[in-house]
C-alpha cells in the first residue's frame, strides 16, 4: 500500500454492466418458465397480479453498480509519481494465496467478502502542476490495474475498473494533489 495522497477511488466490478443484465435476463427466463409450468403452462403475463409481483420480489437482482462490486482502486501520489493500490474481496484471491486463510476477518477466522490489499500498480512519473501528466498517468494506472486483476485475481476474466461516463479530463488532479500536499505536508504513512 504505497499511495500517500489519495486523489480518486474507483470501484472494481466483476463483470461489465451489459453482461450482468444478460445473465439476469437468462436467469429470469428460466425462473419464469418454471413458474409458468407450475401454473399449468399459463403465460407469465396472464398470471394473477400477486403471483407476478411475488415472483419479481423473490427473484429480484439488485442494481449492478453497487452489487457487482468486488473491490476498489485507490489512485494517488507518492513523491513525484502517480500510482494505484488494488483492493479486492478475499474470495477472489488465488485459492492457495495466504490472504485467503491467514488473516482474521470480522466474521470469524476469515470473511470472504472482506476487501483487502492485492497489489500496487507500477508508478508513473508526473510533473507537479501539469494536469496532463497526471491524467495520462491515471489512464495508465487504470489499465495496469485491469491487467493485475486478470493476472492475479481468481476467476475474474471480465473484471474491470469502472470509469465514469465523462472524460477524466474533467478532473484537475494536479490541483487536488497540490491542495493535499499543502494540507498534509510530509505525510509518510499510506492512507
Asked if residue 63 is part of any domain, the answer here is no
Same domain, 11 and 25: no
Same domain, 132 and 42: no
Taking a C-beta distance cutoff of 8 angstroms, is the pair 110, 90 a contact? yes
Containing domain of residue 81, as a range? 5-16+69-183
Taking a C-beta distance cutoff of 8 angstroms, is the pair 38, 48 a contact? no
What domain count does the chain have? Answer: 2
Query: What is the C-alpha separation between 58 and 101, in angstroms, rounded?
Result: 33
Same domain, 135 and 99: yes
Same domain, 28 and 100: no
Taking a C-beta distance cutoff of 8 angstroms, is the pair 88, 161 a contact? no
Same domain, 75 and 86: yes
Strand partners, 122: none
Asked if residue 133 is part of any domain, the answer here is yes
User: What are the pLDDT digits (tens) for 166-181?
Assistant: 999 999 999 999 999 9
Same domain, 28 and 87: no
Ranges of beta strands (E only) in the chain are 5-13, 69-78, 81-89, 115-125, 160-161
Same domain, 153 and 129: yes
Same domain, 90 and 122: yes
Residue 97's Cβ-side half-sphere holds a number of Cα atoms within 13 Å equal to: 20
User: What are the pLDDT digits (tens) for 73-126?
Assistant: 999 999 899 999 999 998 898 888 877 776 665 555 557 788 889 999 999 999
Same domain, 51 and 108: no
Using only the alpha carbons of the chain, give its radius of gyration.
22
Amino acid at each position: 500500500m504505497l499511495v500517500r495522497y489519495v486523489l480518486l477511488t474507483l470501484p472494481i466490478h466483476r463483470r461489465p454492466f451489459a453482461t450482468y443484465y444478460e445473465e439476469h435476463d437468462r436467469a429470469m427466463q428460466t425462473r419464469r418458465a418454471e413458474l409458468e409450468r407450475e401454473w399449468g403452462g399459463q403465460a407469465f403475463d396472464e398470471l394473477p397480479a400477486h403471483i407476478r409481483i411475488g415472483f419479481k420480489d423473490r427473484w429480484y437482482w439488485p442494481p449492478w453498480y453497487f452489487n457487482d462490486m468486488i473491490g476498489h482502486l485507490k489512485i494517488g501520489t507518492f513523491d513525484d509519481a502517480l500510482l494505484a493500490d488494488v483492493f479486492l474481496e478475499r474470495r477472489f484471491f488465488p485459492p492457495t494465496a495466504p490472504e485467503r486463510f491467514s488473516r482474521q476477518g470480522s466474521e470469524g477466522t476469515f470473511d470472504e467478502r472482506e476487501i483487502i490489499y492485492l497489489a500496487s500498480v507500477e508508478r508513473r512519473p508526473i510533473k507537479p502542476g501539469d494536469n496532463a501528466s497526471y491524467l495520462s498517468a491515471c489512464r495508465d494506472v487504470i489499465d495496469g490495474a485491469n491487467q493485475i486483476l486478470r493476472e492475479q485475481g481468481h476467476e475474474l476474466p471480465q473484471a474491470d475498473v469502472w470509469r465514469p461516463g465523462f472524460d477524466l479530463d474533467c478532473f484537475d488532479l494536479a490541483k487536488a494533489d497540490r491542495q493535499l500536499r499543502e494540507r498534509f505536508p510530509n505525510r509518510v504513512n499510506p492512507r
